[in-house]
Amino acid sequence: MALSTLSLSACSKKDAATSATNKNQNLITVDNGEDPPSLDTAIAQDTTSARVLYDLFEGLTSFDQSLKVIPGLAEKWDISPDGKIYTFHLRQGLKFSDGSPITADDVVFSWQRLADPKVASPYNNLTANIVNGSAIIAGKLSPTQLGVKALDANTVQISLNHPDAAFLQICTMPNAATVSKANLLKFGQAWTNPKNMVTSGAYKIKDWVIKGNLMLTKNPNYYDAKNVSVANVNFLPIIDYNASFNRYKTGEIDVTYSLPVDQYKAIKQQYPDQAQTVSMDSLYYYDFNMNLAKFKDNPQLRQALSMAVDRNAIVKDVLGQDQVPIYGYVTASIEAGQFADVKYAWESWPRAQQIAKAQELFKAAGYGPNHPLELSISYNTMDLHKKNALAVASMWQQVFGANSIKTTASNQEWKTFIQARNKGDYEIARDAWSADYDSVDTYTNLFLCGNPLNKSKYCNPAYDKLILQAQNTQDAQQRIQLIKQALQIAENDYAIIPLYQYTYYRLVNPRVKGYTMTNNHLDHVMSKWYKLD
């Protein structure tokens, strides 16, 4: 793949660093890739929104740059001997950005809202293990009956159905962050309007121009405001990685979202101290729309399409950013690799054998020159997703024959794509899942019947039963075995097409200090870490 030497030579690494030296030390400019589709903590479901929400809101717990759980709004907590009751003690004198007090009632309200079926949070599963959570999600109980209660103004008690070693990590998530009860009751759905929003995190919104920029400014009422170094954070929604790279070279951007796929090696050589690549606990995959008869009732077709994809070619020839091909439904690194062995046996087959089996299954599924399969791959507008879609479509044609399969690619802007995928308005859709915390549960929830994050609408009660058993056992080894059995069921059903494990790759200007990516395999970032020279 040819490199664009012209764009690389336009500005040297020294030029980029020098052009930034006169920048305002109270302002950092960060490319966020897109405008956040939602800044409602309960509704947000994507990394673009999460990046901003981590700045605007905080939960009971927080995390450091190695993703270790640390105190957040709660300065400490107690856990009952049976692991089911968590008692959180809030910091004294907490305030929202408007100066009003943050109390235990606000925390309780935030969790109840997350579970409320009227809110329809795609992350309501985070409350399923809280007492009465599942019944509330199902509309059988009132949100006020959730097992989260205020013992007094500064103490919150959360009761779980079964122990969960990852619960403190769940509390760090932006969906579980604390919002102002008074503010939401006053403004309703309009509470996320920048002029109405009240925040609990290190920053608040100063201004937002859609497709232009989202400016945050330091929240003076944040409990740790004295240690928030950068006063203003300017998020840019740059879809084009080449445009982002060019603006980085001129010093306009301090931290990129990502970089051009086809210039990876050259950029690494040109900017060895600024370009950083980190492996992610993040899975790139394609959803089958299981509501469509051709997929729902045809597992042979789903298997054929999955086997026909040459994942090694995608990561080496199409991407080339040290991504890892993946043949299972969880990343190999989650929970220290305990589930890395749950994957398709045909991973180790010679490519010719994979192709032969895929062709056999495709024919058995009823497709061929006399009955060609017509497919559409949907993806959000981004060069990387376009390259993947074209590559996969080409592989299908090569394996099954140009007269046996006809694939079209359909791109949409991010917000429209999210809405279409949520509604099931697609045939095959690009999807990805970044682990929210270091637990295999963050992946296994994706395949539960009726889970709003299950975009393929896959459903197998046997899978759900095993996951439920795993969640309710206190035997660590039994839990692992039950989850492995469940994953094997989903994989045998070919619920999705797993493609590769992500890396994230960005440039960070030398003037940016305090940001350490090395051990941040979830790419959860807070602007309060930044310091500027």
Q: Is residue 14 part of a domain?
A: no
Q: What is the pLDDT of residue 262?
A: 85
Domain boundaries, position 220: 27-38+193-277+504-532
> Which stretches in the chain have pLDDT values below 50?
1-22
For strands 373-380 and 27-31, give the pairing.
unpaired
Q: What is the pLDDT of residue 361?
A: 98
Structural tokens at position 342: 């749950």
Instruction: State the Cα–Cα distance between residues 7 and 13, nearest whole angstrom.
Output: 12
Same structural domain, 379 and 431: yes
Q: Tell me the CA end-to-end span of the chain in Å, nearest whole number.
A: 37
Domain of residue 294, CATH code: 3.10.105.10
In the 8-state DSSP scheme, what is residue 91? P
Q: Is residue 65 part of a domain?
A: yes
Same structural domain, 174 and 316: no
In the 8-state DSSP scheme, what is residue 363? H
Q: What is the pLDDT of residue 333?
A: 86
Same structural domain, 450 and 524: no
Phi, psi of 186 (to 5 degrees): -75, -45
What ranges make up the beta strands (E) of 266-326? 275-288, 324-325
In sequence order, the β-bridge partners of residue 371 are 368
Longest CA–CA span in the chain (Å) reads 73
Q: What is the pLDDT of residue 9?
A: 32
Same structural domain, 511 and 496: no
Which of 150, 182, 214 is the last residue before a domain boundary? Answer: 182
Domain of residue 245, CATH code: 3.40.190.10
Q: What is the pLDDT of residue 5?
A: 26
Structural tokens at position 327: 């043949």
> What is the radius of gyration, based on Cα positions, of the chain?
24
Same structural domain, 129 and 153: yes
For strands 531-532 and 405-412, give the pairing.
unpaired
Q: Count of CB atoms within 10 A of residue 311's CB?
A: 20
Q: Is residue 49 part of a domain?
A: no
Which of 153, 182, 211 is the last residue before a domain boundary? Answer: 182
Instruction: State the Cα–Cα distance between residues 342 and 480, nearest whole angstrom.
Output: 11
Q: Which amino acid is at 165?
A: A
Picking from 171, 177, 50, 202, the residue whose alpha carbon sits closest to that of residue 437 is 171
Q: For tokens 């050589």, what's the residue?
A: 269
Q: Is residue 456 part of a domain?
A: yes
Q: For tokens 């925040």, what's the residue?
A: 199
pTM: 0.79
Q: Which amino acid is at 473?
A: T
Number of domains comprising the chain: 3
Q: With H, G, I as helix, E, B as strand and everything else as coil, classify residue 50.
A: helix
Q: Is residue 523 part of a domain?
A: yes
Enumerate residues 6+ apart whose C-beta is below 8 A from 53: 36, 39, 41, 44, 174, 177, 201
Q: What distances in angstroms separate CA 418 from CA 175, 318, 335, 430, 492, one per listed residue?
A: 17, 24, 29, 10, 27
Q: What is the pLDDT of residue 436?
A: 87
Domain of residue 118, CATH code: 3.90.76.10
Same structural domain, 290 and 397: yes
Element (H, E) at 209: strand 203-209
Same structural domain, 34 and 86: no
Q: Is residue 47 part of a domain?
A: no
Q: Is residue 318 part of a domain?
A: yes
Same structural domain, 91 and 201: no
Q: Count of CB atoms within 10 A of residue 339's CB?
A: 22
Phi, psi of 138 (to 5 degrees): -80, 0
Same structural domain, 206 and 174: no
Same structural domain, 493 and 352: yes
Q: Is residue 78 part of a domain?
A: yes
Structural tokens at position 494: 């070919």
Same structural domain, 357 and 434: yes
Same structural domain, 356 and 490: yes
